[in-house]
Chains A and B, each alone.
Chain A
Amino acid sequence: MKHLIDSTDLSVEEIDSILNLAQHIIDNKEDYSEVCKGKKLATLFFEPSTRTRLSFEAAMMELGGNVLGFSSADSSSATKGESVGDTIRVVGCYADIIAMRHPKEGAPMFGAMVSSVPIINAGDGGHNHPTQTLTDLLTIKREKGRLDNFTIGLCGDLKFGRTVHSLIKALSRYKNIKYILISPKELRVPDYIITEVFEKNNIEYREVSTMEEVMEELDIIYMTRVQKERFFNEADYVRLKDTYILDETKLKYAKKDLSILHPLPRVNEISTKVDDDPRACYFRQALNGKYVRMALIITLLENAGRE
């Protein structure tokens, strides 16, 4: 693995290796405080971001490395018409590794084709967000102690939510996972996920429209935001938006060891009253994002050093 563009680029062994390293970092933070000394991470964010960019920068700083970059296309040469290819070639002269977010789908993959240094996809439009997927996997592993044998409910916008698609694809390689897809019919997962992931791999899944009917079955619930702009008419949005608010009442039906995940940002789909419930993992999940990015930076720099 030279770059990380799509979570499915990683074999199960590579995922396990990154997650194990992340756990080792968590348990031995001081041992890693200088492993990237003298190395530079460039964060090229052609599109604004809060958590992802800051967690990449925090990750590199905790490894003893330095950070350079920009946080919007407005403050880069993209405004002068520079191509992505040229930006990547130039930044490769200054940095040892690049984390890149771009509004165009596939931009980091193209960056990887022309780059002399490792590229990490930090989100490309509505397409992929593999470091969020690694974050989700680390969170599931730490909360459940395993990445197989559970029932996961994915709730909300399953059509446009890139984190959901990446997570389904990544988890499809692990055994005995049952998927319950909770969404309005307007926001169901795309057909290709059904045919090319679930049906092709003989994976058990079910599509439902309310949380209540499945809550007691779930070991994990992965919440996402229902986005108003995705609906063709306001009435449908108003009708459906409150269906997917996870609150204390719905949690009464849930297992005692349910894990509640959310890639954040949250709007109102998880009541703030749930935050103090020990089953709420989403802020721990955000912290895991930093550790998994530390593990990924170390892994990619080591791999680059071997070439």
Chain B
Amino acid sequence: MKIDSIQNGIVLDHITAGKALQVYRDLKLDKLDCSVAILQNVKSNKMGKKDILKIDKDEYNLNLDVLGYIDPGITVSIIKDGETVEKKKLELPEKLVNIKKCKNPRCITSTEQEIPHIFKLTDKENRVYRCVYCEADK
């Protein structure tokens, strides 16, 4: 199966197989009016199989925190005139703002409307994020 290369846009490679749709949803790519290709279960020497997303849009500001949180192994390539001009490696973000909601019913975020949902990374090894208000983990 062959998908054409993009001239100007972003390629998200090395997505853990099966996570492409989550990335698509959480990055709100359905709101874009450009072409977006979702490739699932692509053969990979390194990963066995992987997912890939191609976004055919120039000047698109990607939320790297969302990506890093969902799958820190993703490689982000910025494409200009058919060439890769930049590769970004992701890390687990130290802070998540309005990416996840606190599920603790006793947390102030469950009743206060204007409040931003903020989580902080407290254990990098085990990927533990805690709500800054109630300290419940995600």
Contacts and interface: CB of A to CB of B under 8 A. Distances in A.
Interface string A78-122: 000001110000000000000000111111011000000000000
A176 B80 CA distance: 59
B123 A85 contact: no
A13 B94 CA distance: 26
Contacts of A84: 108, 112
A196 B123 contact: yes
B113 A104 contact: no
A104 B137 contact: no
B138 to A, nearest CB: 13
B115 A110 contact: yes
Contacts of A192: 137
Nearest to B122: A196
B108 A104 contact: yes
B38 interface: no
A126 interface: yes
A158 B115 CA distance: 30
Contacts of A110: 108, 112, 115, 133
B114 A127 contact: no
The winner among B104, B132, B135 for most chain A CB atoms within 10 A is: B135
A85 B110 contact: no
Interface residues of A, number: 18
A125 interface: yes
B107 interface: yes
B111 interface: yes
A196 B122 CA distance: 9
Nearest to A83: B112
Given A125-B106, A126-B106, A196-B123, A106 B133 contact: yes
A83 B113 contact: yes
B131 interface: yes
B42 interface: no
A106 B123 contact: no
B109 interface: yes
Nearest to B135: A127
Nearest to B131: A106
B113 A102 contact: no
Nearest to A128: B135
B47 interface: no
A2 B113 CA distance: 25
B134 interface: yes
Interface of A: 83-85, 102-107, 109-110, 124-127, 192, 195-196
Interface of B: 104, 106-115, 122-123, 131-137
12 contacts: A83-B114, A85-B115, A105-B104, A105-B107, A107-B108, A107-B112, A109-B108, A110-B112, A110-B133, A124-B108, A125-B134, A126-B106
